[in-house]
Structure formats: structure tokens, C-alpha cells
Amino acid sequence: MGARDRIEVMHGVNLDQLGRRDSAVYGALTYDQLEQRIEGHARELGLRVRFFQTNDEADFIEHLHRLEGLADAIVMNPGAWTHYAWAIRDALEIAALPTVEVHLSAVEEREEWRRVSVVRDLCLATVTGKGPDGYRDALARLKEELEA
């Protein structure tokens, strides 16, 4: 078997609008710049990343359905879907890949409704409030898992 090093980095709704969103909460990077940062973290860790972002929940779900054989693990920031999209949770369960949930902001310190995550119990770990560096933590955790 070849190296298990293929990480699918999935971003959900409104994350393509980074750069226009409140920079005090989400930082100043645009989505493209965030991808570049993540790419750099992955390179340092010797992982291969592929990116996917959509504002359409059905596309997000279908992307999860299609991952079999194409990815070894997932880094996921579903945006607001995190807090209520049970269909995404079910699709993640079907994908059955090691996953780390990431949020740029400290969701647990914000509004009550952001404290719920429908995917959390399916994930190896959740990283919140560390901005773009949170993705490095997520990738490092998955590397550990894939090499175990």
C-alpha cells in the first residue's frame, strides 16, 4: 500500500467570503490565501491536500459521497452547517474517513447556537479559535493517525 497522505480539505457555506467577513472574528485572509497557508502547512508535514468549497449543501454531501478511494482523511470546516446540518453528519459517517473539524473562530465563546456541532462526535478532534494555524494542528493530528 502506498503512503496514506491524501487529505481532503472541505470548506462549507460562506467561507469563500473570507476577507469580506468580520476580520476581528475570522482574520483578514481571503479564502485563496487561506488555501495557500494550508497548502504550506501540508507541504511541511509531507501531506498532499486537495481543496473543496461550496455554498450548496447538496454539493458538500455529494462530495463526501464521492471521496471513497480518493482521500485518506478529511479536514472539515462546514461553516454554519456545523451547527444544524444533520444530513452532512450522515454523509460524513458514510465517508468513514478520519476527520478533524476546524473553526477559525472560538465557536464555544460566541453565540449559544454556535456551541452545537453535529459532526463533532464523528471527528478525531476539533480545533477552534486558532485561525489559519488551527489547520496545521488538524493536519498534524491526521498525519499521526494515518501513520499509526
Report the amino acid identity of residue 89. Answer: R
Site track for ligand DQA across 32-71, x = CB under 6 A: ----------------------------------------
Helices within 1-148 (DSSP H only): 23-26, 31-45, 57-65, 86-95, 133-147
> Known catalytic residue: 103?
yes
Residue owning grid cell 481543496: 51
SS3 114: helix
- Residue in 53, 77, 99, 117 binding ligand DQA, rule: CB under 6 A: 77
How far is 121 from 117, CA to CA, in rounded Å?
A: 8
Name the one range near ligand DQA by CB under 6 A: 47-55, 59-67, 72-80, 138-146: 72-80
With CB under 6 A as the contact rule, the residue among 103, 136, 141, 143 that binds ligand DQA is: 103
Q: Report the 10 Å Cβ neighbour count for 16.
A: 17
Q: State the minimum distance, in angstroms, from the CB of residue 127 to ligand DQA.
A: 10
Catalytic: 31? no
Contact residues for ligand DQA, defined by CB under 6 A:
14, 77, 79-80, 82, 103-105, 107, 114
